[in-house]
C-alpha cells in the first residue's frame, strides 16, 4: 500500500502480536501510534492511504494504558516535600525512573509542611505531558496540613492547620498558589471545610478526604459539596463500625449524588492493607478503586534512614516507619508491584487490576478522554507485562 503522509510526516508505529486493553477487555488487535496518539487504522488506511513505518512484535505481551499515580511522595532519594535547590531536577529524575514501572503520569505529592516549603516548591513545576524523557506531571497533590490531629499518621503535628472563618484565605496563605495543584487532601470534619471543598471543586481541583475522624454524615456532606476521592482507604481514618462506618461508608452510601462516583485510593503493597480488607473494598465498589503507591524517597533505595518532608523515616525490609516508632509513613512499592499484588490478593481479572491503575485515576481527574484508555485519539500508553 503506498504511503501518503498528507496529514502528518511523523513516523507511524504498528504494534503487532499483542493484547490491547480496550473497553474493559484484552483484545487481540494491532495498535497504531503516531506522535504519541493512537490512530484509527480504518481512517489511516482509507483516508490517508497510510502504512506503518516500523513494526514492533510484542510477542504476546499486554499493551495497557500508562499507569497514573495520584499519590507519590518521591523516590530514588528525591523527597518532593523538600525545597531543594533543584526541585525541577528532582521531579524529573523520579519521572524518568517511574517510566520503568509503567507510570506515564503522576501527581507529585507534598505531605504536611510549613508554608515556606509550599511557597518554594509549588511555583517550580508546571503541568506538562510525558514522553521518553519521563512521566507527565498532572499537577501537585497536597496532602495536608488541613487534617486531623488524631489521625495525623506520619504528618508532623507542629505544622497541622485548621480553617478559620474564611477557609480559602488559610489555603492561599499556606500554599501560596493553587496554580498547578490537582488535588488537596483534607479532613472534612474541620470547621469551615465545606466552603473550601466547594471552592476547590469549582476551581477544578479534586478534593480528597483523608487523615480524618469524620463520621459518615460529615463525609457525605463533603461529597455533596464536591469531594470525590478518599486518600488511602482504611489508613489514617476511623475504623469501620457498623453503627457509623465513617468515611469507609462512602463506598456504599446512598447519599452520593446521582451520576457521581466516589473514588478511593488503596496502597496495595501487602503492608498497608490486609488482603481481606482489600477484597472487601473491591467487592463493595470495584469501579471506584484507584491504586496508589504512596511511595516515599526511599523507593528504589537500600534499607536505612531517609526523609519524608520534615520527618526522618527508617526502612526495615518492605516497611517504612517514622524513625524510632512503628508508625507507617508511606510505601517503597512501585506501581507495577501494586498492580500485581492487587490482582493476586483480590482475585480480580487482569483487566480490572490494570484499570485500577489507569482508567480509574483518569476518570477521577476528569481526563479519561485522553488517558487511562487506548481508544482512537487517546494518548499512547506504555507496554506492561502482567503475568
Binding site as annotated, residues for Zn(2+): 143, 211, 232
Q: Which of 10, 3, 62 is nearest to 34 (CA)?
A: 10
The SS3 call for residue 237 is: strand
| Residues 112 and 309: beta-carbon distance below 8 Å | yes
Counting every residue written for the chain, the total comes to 387
Q: Point out the catalytic residue in the list 294, 336, 375, 379.
A: 294
Beta strand 263-266 with 229-230: parallel, antiparallel or unpaired?
A: parallel
CB pairs under 8 A, 24+ apart, for 42-51? 43/376, 44/12, 45/1, 48/4, 48/5, 48/6, 48/7, 49/1, 49/2, 49/3, 49/4, 50/3, 50/4, 50/5, 50/7, 50/12, 51/1, 51/2, 51/3, 51/12
Omega into 221 within 30° of 0, i.e. cis? no
For the chain, helix, strand, coil in percent to 5 are: 30, 25, 50
Please confirm, yes or no, whether 294 is among the known catalytic residues.
yes
Annotated binding site for substrate: 154, 235-236, 243, 272, 328-330
Among candidate residues 164, 137, 145, the one with its CA nearest the CA of residue 365:
137
Per the CB < 8 A criterion, the answer to whether 305 and 264 are in contact is no
Which residues sit in the known binding site?
Answer: 143, 154, 211, 232, 235-236, 243, 272, 328-330
Tally of CB atoms within 10 A around 222: 28
3-class DSSP state for residue 62? strand
CA torsion 183-339-264-202 (nearest 10°) is: 30
In this structure, are residues 64 and 22 in contact, taking their beta carbons and an 8 Å threshold? no
Measured CA to CA, the distance from residue 185 to residue 222 in angstroms comes to 12
Give catalytic residue positions: 294
Amino acid at each position: 500500500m503506498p504511503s501518503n503522509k498528507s496529514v502528518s510526516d511523523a513516523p507511524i508505529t504498528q504494534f503487532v502480536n499483542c493484547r490491547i486493553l480496550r473497553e474493559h477487555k484484552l483484545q487481540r488487535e494491532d495498535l497504531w501510534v503516531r506522535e504519541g496518539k493512537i490512530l484509527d487504522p480504518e481512517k489511516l488506511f482509507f483516508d490517508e492511504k497510510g502504512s506503518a513505518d516500523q513494526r514492533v512484535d510484542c510477542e504476546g505481551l499486554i499493551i495497557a494504558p500508562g499507569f497514573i499515580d495520584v499519590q507519590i511522595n518521591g523516590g530514588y532519594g528525591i523527597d518532593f516535600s523538600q525545597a531543594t535547590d533543584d526541585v525541577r531536577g528532582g521531579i524529573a529524575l523520579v519521572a524518568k525512573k517511574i517510566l520503568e514501572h509503567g507510570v506515564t503520569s503522576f501527581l507529585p505529592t507534598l505531605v504536611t509542611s510549613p508554608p515556606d516549603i509550599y511557597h518554594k516548591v509549588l511555583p517550580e513545576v508546571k503541568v506538562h505531558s510525558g514522553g521518553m524523557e519521563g512521566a507527565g506531571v498532572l499537577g501537585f497533590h497536597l496532602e495536608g496540613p488541613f487534617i486531623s490531629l488524631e489521625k495525623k499518621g506520619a504528618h508532623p503535628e507542629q505544622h497541622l492547620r485548621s480553617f478559620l472563618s474564611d477557609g480559602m484565605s488559610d489555603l492561599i496563605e499556606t500554599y501560596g498558589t493553587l496554580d498547578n495543584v490537582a488535588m488537596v487532601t483534607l479532613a472534612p470534619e474541620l470547621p469551615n471545610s465545606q466552603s473550601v471543598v466547594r471552592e476547590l471543586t469549582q476551581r477544578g481541583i479534586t478534593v480528597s478526604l483523608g487523615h480524618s475522624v469524620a463520621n459518615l454524615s460529615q463525609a457525605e456532606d463533603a461529597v455533596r459539596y464536591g469531594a470525590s476521592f478518599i486518600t488511602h482507604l482504611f489508613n489514617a481514618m476511623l475504623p469501620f463500625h457498623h453503627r457509623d462506618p465513617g468515611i469507609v461508608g462512602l463506598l456504599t452510601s446512598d447519599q452520593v449524588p446521582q451520576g457521581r462516583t466516589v473514588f478511593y485510593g488503596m496502597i496495595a503493597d501487602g503492608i498497608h492493607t490486609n488482603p481481606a480488607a482489600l477484597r472487601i473494598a473491591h467487592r463493595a465498589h470495584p469501579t471506584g478503586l484507584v491504586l496508589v503507591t504512596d511511595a516515599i524517597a526511599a523507593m528504589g533505595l537500600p534499607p536505612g534512614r531517609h526523609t519524608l518532608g520534615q520527618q526522618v523515616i527508617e526502612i526495615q525490609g518492605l516497611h517504612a516507619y517514622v524513625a524510632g516508632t512503628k508508625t507507617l509513613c508511606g510505601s517503597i512499592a512501585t506501581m507495577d508491584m501494586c498492580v500485581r499484588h492487587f490482582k493476586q490478593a483480590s482475585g480480580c481479572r487482569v483487566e480490572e487490576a490494570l484499570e485500577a491503575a489507569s482508567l480509574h485515576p483518569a476518570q477521577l481527574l476528569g481526563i479519561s478522554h485522553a488517558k487511562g484508555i487506548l481508544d482512537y485519539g487517546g494518548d499512547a500508553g506504555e507496554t506492561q507485562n502482567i503475568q
